[in-house]
Structures are given as C-alpha cells and as structure tokens.
Amino acid sequence: MEKRNLLLTIAYDGRAYHGWQIQENALSVQEVFQGALRQVIGDDFDVKGCSRTDSGVHANQYCISLKTGHRIPCERLVAALNRFLPMDMAVKGCRSVSLDFHARYSCKGKEYQYLIWNDPVRNPFLDGRAFHYWYPLDTDMLNQAAQAFVGKHDFTSFCTLDHRERDNMERMVKCCSVSREGSLVTFRVEADGFLYNMVRIMVGTLLRIAQGKIPEDGIPAILEAKDRSKAGPTARACGLYLNRVFYEEDL
C-alpha cells in the first residue's frame, strides 16, 4: 500500500505525562497517542514528534508527522482519535503533507510560553499549570531585561550541562516578551530552535533579576560567558507550554 504522510496537531495537559517520548516505566504522550492510533488504524504507522518536551510540560500545539498506508480521511481520523484519547489530550487538526516532511527536522521555529501565577494566594485552577510566585514582579522591567535575548546568540549559558550539543549552540531568538493580565504573568519566546531547558533557564534567570541577584542589564554578560553557572536556576516544568510550531509553508 502506498504510504501517505500526515501532519497532526495535538494539545495536551502535560501533568500526567513524562514528556512526549516513549520510555520504560513512565507514561508518555507518545505512548497514549499511539495507543489511540492503534485503535483507529491498526499497526501501520510511523510517528515522529516535533520535540521531546520534559515531564509535566504542556502543549497548546504539538506537531506530529505520521506515515501510514491506511486510507482514512483526515477529518474522520481526527474525530476517531479524539474518541479514543483521554480528556487531557486532543487532536486539533490533520492534513496531508509531502513524504519528505518530518515533524522535527522540517521545523523552522517554535514559540513557547511560560505562565507564572504572581499572587500571594495560589490559584486552585492553575495547580500544575503555572508556577506560583508570591513576591510582586515588575513585568515592565522584566520585559525590558528580556529584550537582551533577542537576536542570534550562543545560548550555552542557557542549556543544561549534560545536554550540550557539541556543534552549534547558537540560536536565533525572534521575539521575547513578559506581560501581565491581573495576577497571571506570561513569558513568551519565539526562536528558530531551543537548547535543552533553554526556556526554563531563561525564566529562572529573569526571576533572579526580579530578586535583584542578577542586574537588570545582566543578560548580555551571561550570554557572553558561555557558562551555565552564570545564569539562574531552571524554572519548574509546570509553567511551560509549547505554543506554536513553524514549518516552511507557514513562514
């Protein structure tokens, strides 16, 4: 049977999952997704995710390429998968793409957001979905400080040590913002790619700036140092959302 290649977009609340990738002894998004897929089209599939994503991280838009010989129409596949998936996961769309498309390698950029509930009292509706930070944050100042991330930089200082890739630590950050709506503070960043834990370390560094432990204009020097120990700690996974994934045709 001739293969087709499909691009599926899903959303999931990551609280129950140890990231995308299938692994032993821990439930993953991929395992649950493939389980639903098996119910609908049997075993004839090869699935590629757009990125790993850590345990507890959420996705408003996660992209999957799916090679299959099965002829189910896109619309019916979406409806059927949503019936077999748990309530914390949903397929949002599906379309046919060329056979050489790969959810990860064809990706031209991504946007992440990080949510901080900035209030003395926790929000019972955001448990596991936003990082709770008690002390008032000056979001205008943080937004100003975060502009130093924009541009092409070596992000070695913003990458967890064990996961350094040898070759290229440069990434192009297109835009970056810190904004507030009531008690909810959102950090949003778009780049052509992200190193391991890069967004969470960016957020941890901004919180250090908020605490006065790193100067407001300290980010350029941290980038320059290419030294993980100069940046702030890795912020908790619960606040992180993969928001958008960009491919050639979208740009």
Question: Read out DSSP for 6-53?
Answer: EEEEEEE-GGG-S-SS-BTTB--HHHHHHHHHHHHHTT--EEEES---
Catalytic residues: 54
Site for a copy of itself in 10-29 (CB under 8 A): 11-13
* Residue 65 CB, nearest approach to a copy of itself (Å): 19
Is there binding between residue 89 and a copy of itself (CB under 8 A)? yes
- Taking the C-alpha atoms of residue 240 and residue 169, their distance in angstroms, rounded to an integer, is 21
Taking the least distance from each CB to a copy of itself, the nearer of 50 and 78 is 78
With left for phi above 0 and alpha for psi between -120 and 50, is residue 146 left, alpha or beta? alpha
Please count the CA atoms within 13 angstroms of the CA of 79 that sit on its side-chain side.
Answer: 5
Distance in angstroms between the alpha carbons of the first and the last residue of the chain: 33
How far, in Å, are 35, 36, 38, 48, 145 from residue 30 at the CA level? 8, 10, 12, 9, 37
Taking the least distance from each CB to a copy of itself, the nearer of 1 and 121 is 121
Single residue of 54, 88, 138, 154 touching a copy of itself by CB under 8 A: 88
Q: Are 54 and 19 spatial neighbours (Cβ–Cβ below 8 Å)?
A: yes
* Residue 149 CB, nearest approach to a copy of itself (Å): 27
Single residue of 34, 55, 61, 82 touching a copy of itself by CB under 8 A: 82
47-55, 82-90, 100-108, 139-147 -> range binding a copy of itself (CB under 8 A): 82-90
* Residue 223 CB, nearest approach to a copy of itself (Å): 33
Q: Which of 192, 243, 173, 232 is nearest to 208 (CA)?
A: 232
Site for a copy of itself in 126-165 (CB under 8 A): 127-129
Is there binding between residue 192 and a copy of itself (CB under 8 A)? no
DSSP secondary structure code for residue 231 in this structure: S
Instruction: Look up residue 67 and give its two tokens.
Output: 């090679």
Number of residues engaging a copy of itself in binding (CB under 8 A): 20
Mark 39-78 with x for binding to a copy of itself (rule: CB under 8 A) and - for no binding: -------------------x-------------------x
Binding site for a copy of itself (CB under 8 A): 11-13, 58, 78, 82, 87-92, 121-125, 127-129
